[in-house]
Amino acid sequence: MKQDTTVAIIGGGLSGLTLAWLLHQKNIRATVLEASGRLGGRIHTISGCDGTPMELGATWFCGQHSNLLTLLRDLQQEKFLQYSEGISLFQTKSFEPPQKFFVPASESPSYRVTGGTQKLTDALAQKLPDAVHLNTRVTAIRETNGQLLLETACGRVWAANQVAICIPPQLAAAAITFHPGLPEALQTVLATVQTWMAGAIKFTLEYPEPFWRKEGYSGMLYSHAGIISEMYDHTNFEENKFGFTGFLNGGAASYPPDIRKTLVLQQLNELLGANALSALSYFDKVWNDAFIHEGSPVFQRPHHNNGHPLLQESFMNEKLYFGGTETATAFPGYMEGAVIAAQQLAARLG
């Protein structure tokens, strides 16, 4: 069965969804094909046992992220300040007490989306009824008769006048076959575009009360000594649900989840006392599945070849375009980059 659309957007993350919404505002029929069973991609808010919105993916942004801020306003979503008051900890060695420091008030503080970052992609999805197809992994793009045919793992074929690939470029090169093949120079670049946060491990903890705040701690921790490498207070906007979120060190991926949880709680027990053991829930996510990278990814320095000039060009006779945060010429890798990339493509498509 073949279905038609004007613009096919591969990937239902922030960039693909924003692009679809911008095109719909220009009355251009755009269809989002998303490989997984959910929208949001690297934005992934879950609800803890106590209903606390907890971020397994993108969490923070700042005042410089003006395009993201405008999008939030347009979608009537609110933001709030990341909590950072009190004593923060820096653990350099496991056998020495942590250094204590205070984070000075910043001119460029970090914000979070009220209710969770996923509110943003949920709001976009609501603007796009019937335009989004889940569990639709694009495997091949074929140029034929002035159109592009998109083949999917589920067997459905889409025909589009233009296609925007809003997935990490390195993943696109590994997971999608192109007929005819892409220019060699582009293939070389695609394989080397670093995918922001691929391989990162984010964790969340939920607590019945903010015991650390009561003891004068900010909840902020940086460590070279334990499984947790970075951690922040994750209390909700209403300040009635409490917890932490942060990153585990890269080696933690080799442990099973229950061992990771045990090591996290052990580290916090040593640093913040036995209250840390009263967690209501622990979740973590290793960002290494087929929706962010495939096969043996080429590891590159952060943001390597992001926003590369070849990613700004069109291919297959002006029918094929690259989008997604790694193609942005400013703030690539971040949510701001995802929005910028969508805006730039929306101006060129249709």
Ligand X SMILES: Cc1cc2nc3c(=O)[nH]c(=O)nc-3n(C[C@H](O)[C@H](O)[C@H](O)COP(=O)(O)OP(=O)(O)OC[C@H]3O[C@@H](n4cnc5c(N)ncnc54)[C@H](O)[C@@H]3O)c2cc1C
Binding site for ligand X (CB under 6 A): 10-16, 33-36, 41-43, 57-61, 137-138, 166-168, 171, 175-176, 196-197, 200, 202, 287, 291-292, 324-325, 333-335, 337-338
Nearer to ligand X, 136 or 218 (CB): 136
Phi, psi of 72, rounded to the nearest 5 degrees: -60, -45
As measured in angstroms, the least distance from the Cβ of 185 to ligand X is 22
Q: Which two tokens stand for residue 340?
A: 């910028």
Rounded distance between C-alpha atoms, residue 325 and residue 194, angstroms: 11
Nearer to ligand X, 261 or 293 (CB): 293
As measured in angstroms, the least distance from the Cβ of 76 to ligand X is 20
Nearer to ligand X, 33 or 316 (CB): 33
Nearer to ligand X, 98 or 119 (CB): 119
Nearer to ligand X, 167 or 279 (CB): 167
Rounded distance between C-alpha atoms, residue 100 and residue 163, angstroms: 52
Rounded distance between C-alpha atoms, residue 229 and residue 90, angstroms: 10
Q: 180 preceded by cis ω (within 30°)?
A: yes
Nearer to ligand X, 32 or 279 (CB): 32
Report the Cα 36 to chain-centroid distance in Å. Answer: 14
Report the Cα 220 to chain-centroid distance in Å. Answer: 21
As measured in angstroms, the least distance from the Cβ of 146 to ligand X is 23
